[in-house]
Amino acid sequence: MRGRTRLGSEMLHDAWPFLRLRRDRIQAPRTDVPHDFYIVEAGPWINIVPLTMSQDVVMVRQFRHGIERLTLEVPGGLVDPGEDPAIAAARELREETGYSGRLEQIGRIHPNPALQTNTLYTFVARDVVRVTEQDLESSEDIDVVLVPLEEIPARVRRGEIDHALVLVAFVHLMGLGASR
């Protein structure tokens, strides 16, 4: 497979640190025909599967504007520029839930390499305990929900948990994902 030749690139929208939208003009190697590709530049993300000593998962219920409904998810968020993903995971866990625990990275993926440039780091937080109140951003309205770990597969089957990046976090937790 031959390499791609970038003929040009144009920044279409800049909403950094959330995202940038870029159009690249690429010459197809097989046909030499130029095509436009739209790329979402985004910084790294993290998500965390927080487990209590009794094997409850500390989850969050929040409204997602893209699908205009509430979702049941694990905590997560953006890694600030220059921030270590593990520090971001501890921060987001504490801010969104008020919990803290022993963190271990269990996975790393590219959420959508066809369109996006970023990486998602997945952590498990073991033996979490509530140490503080939530510290939510003004745009966040998050309810904390404790779900027994053994109930997760049934909730996935029923469609109660349907966020792809949350599902991949549980795949990593079960040892089925590549940890790279």
Q: How confident is the model at residue 177 (pLDDT cuts 50, 70, 90)?
A: low
Q: How confident is the model at residue 178 (pLDDT cuts 50, 70, 90)?
A: low
pTM of the entire structure? 0.92
Considering only the top CATH level, what class is 45-173? alpha beta
Q: Does the pLDDT of residue 180 top 80, yes or no?
A: no
The answer to whether 173 and 49 have CB atoms below 8 angstroms apart is yes
Instruction: Render the burial of 132-150: b for 16+ CB within 10 Å, e for the rest.
Output: eebeeeeeeebebeebeee
Q: How confident is the model at residue 51 (pLDDT cuts 50, 70, 90)?
A: very high
Task: Kindly report, residue by residue over 98-118, the tens digit of the pLDDT.
Answer: 999 999 999 999 999 999 999
Q: Quick one: pLDDT at residue 118?
A: 96
Domain ranges of the chain: 5-41, 45-173
Q: Quick one: pLDDT at residue 14?
A: 96
